[in-house]
Amino acid sequence: MPTSDLRFRRRIRHVALILAVAGGLPACEDNQTPAPVPGGVEIVSGDAQYTRKGTKLEDPVIVRVASDQGGAAPGMTVHFQVIEGGGTLSRSAVTTDNNGRASVRWTVGPNTGSNRLRITVAENSALTAVATATSSEYYCVEEDPTFSAKFAGAHSLMMLTRSSSLNAATSGLVRYDVNNSNHSFSGTSIGNYPDGAFQNVPRDCVFSANGDLFISWNHAHDEIVKVATDGSVSHFATLEPAPPDATPGAELAMTPNGVLVGCDAVGPFYVTCRDSLFRFEDAIFSGSDLNRDAANNDALACDPTNGDVYFIYKQDRWLYRIPFDGTTAGPKEQVVQLPIDESDGARGMVVDGFDGSIYILVDYLSTTKSIVKVTSAGVRTTERDFFTRGAGDAAGVQSDLAIDRQFRYLYTLDTKNNVFLQYSLNDQQMFTLTPPGADPGQGSSLSGSGERVGLDVIPAAGP
């Protein structure tokens, strides 16, 4: 076939194709869905975060653009711009996905204070939103030791219990206002938590350096929660399931710079921010009670001056110290070896900031009931013998130990007789706190059970 004929036929086919396509265009345009008109923009997540100055926020800022009909608006251009704080962004413009969403990673500015991020939609300049972040000297608000009086009043006791006469048949938090002049108290219920299987079995409570309250409990699993002043709780950290044969639960303490420390059967741990649980590498055990390779999860303390962590290892019966500044931990150090009734019977532990002495509450069967003092140099003595109150049941069953460091009082609850005990470190006197008038005892209403409770003292502003 001549070349000219071949070119002619190709040209004819090409023209026919163009005409066919051109002829079909009106029909295609008639069937297309019109582009959405953006009618709204909202921040889905990542707003109001808190991090250390000059660092990237933990979560991205995610926004959603909605159409004027309320559905998702894909294909829209979202602009992000830092308007306060001087931080940086991973990108300045993002096209929304099929769900109308766009995200950006945000690094806050180099100084402490407020940071703001403006969000706009190119296709509708009237749409805007502003995300905020706080840059601090700390990675999360829990690490900030700046005091805020969230719970009143200072020096009062907070008790976490399975059951109180103020919250009949329920577990919960009770605040006790103590009158030191006449050694009396009155109680107020803060919050009730249902007790029982797959509900809330309380373990311990502690105030942070900045006035927040944390509790450990079993809520289908071992968990630490943060408590608001109205008694409501929010999740803070999930603990590992207790090993077989191990005693569940965790004792809590707090470092002076705001890092929460706990101890379960596996050993001590710390939680800096929500769900950031770390183990001390030099103090991890199997957690089994059968072979004693376990920590005593009823006794844990932090030095209020330097943050050192104290715990008891059951197998070798040593009281150990872990140097800890809230960020870096040193190897564990032996302080003193305890007799077995004290290593196994420890039911609470605190450190006195006055001289660094460690006080251990011991209640071991019916043989040893005392407060043991250990100096920072490892000298151990019996500070108080509870059998001075009487023999047998009169000595009671003591649970947990709290300290008011400013006035140097120790507190414990005799759950056998349902009474609070106050011990003065200044003059070595012990007092039985009494409720006003004919009011019944307001401790545990499970008298005689020897139940486990959590005690702590509401902190006061200042050192």
Provide the pLDDT confidence category of residue 171 given band limits of 50, 70 and 90: low
How do beta strands 222-227 and 213-218 pair? antiparallel
Q: Which pLDDT value is given to residue 265?
A: 93
Give pLDDT, residue 393.
Answer: 87
- Residue 25 banded pLDDT, cuts 50, 70, 90: very low
What one-character-per-residue DSSP string does 421-444 give?
A: EEEETTT--EEEEB-STTPPP-SB
Nearest to 423 by CA among 388, 393, 451, 390: 388
7 pLDDT more than 90: no
Q: Give the single-character DSSP code of 391.
A: S
* pTM reported for the whole predicted model: 0.79
Higher pLDDT, 351 or 441: 351
Amino acid at 117: L
pLDDT at position 164 is 60
Q: Is the pLDDT of residue 460 over 70?
A: yes
The pLDDT value recorded for residue 152 is 85
CB of 60 closer than 8 Å to CB of 104: yes
Q: Which two tokens stand for residue 72?
A: 């998702």
Burial of 388 (0-12, 13-18, 19+ CB in 10 A): exposed
Query: What is the DSSP track for 218-259?
Result: ESSSEEEEEE-TTS-EEEEEEPPPPPTTPPP--EEEE-TTS-
Domains of the chain by range and CATH?
A: 38-137 (2.60.40.10), 142-457 (2.120.10.30)
Cα gap 445→409, rounded to integer Å: 24
Residue 3 pLDDT grade (very low, low, confident, very high; cuts 50, 70, 90): very low
Structure confidence at residue 463 as a pLDDT band (50, 70, 90): very low
Q: What is the 3-state secondary structure (H, E, C) of 329-389?
A: ECCCEEEEECCHHHHHHEEEEEECCCCCCEEEEEEECCCEEEEEEECCCCCEEEEEEHHHH
pLDDT in tens, 69-87: 999 999 999 999 999 999 9
What does the block give as tokens for 21? 């396509």
Residue 59: predicted pLDDT:
92
Name the residue among 141, 135, 138 with its Cα closest to residue 109: 135
pLDDT tens by residue, 100-135 = 999 999 999 999 999 999 999 999 999 999 999 999
Residue matched to tokens 């150990």:
320
Which pLDDT belongs to residue 153? Answer: 86
Cα three-residue angle 211-214-219, rounded to 5 degrees: 160
- Answer whether residue 455 shows pLDDT above 80: yes
CA angle 165, 168, 169 (to 5 degrees): 130
Tell me: cis bond preceding 153? Omega within 30 of 0 counts: yes
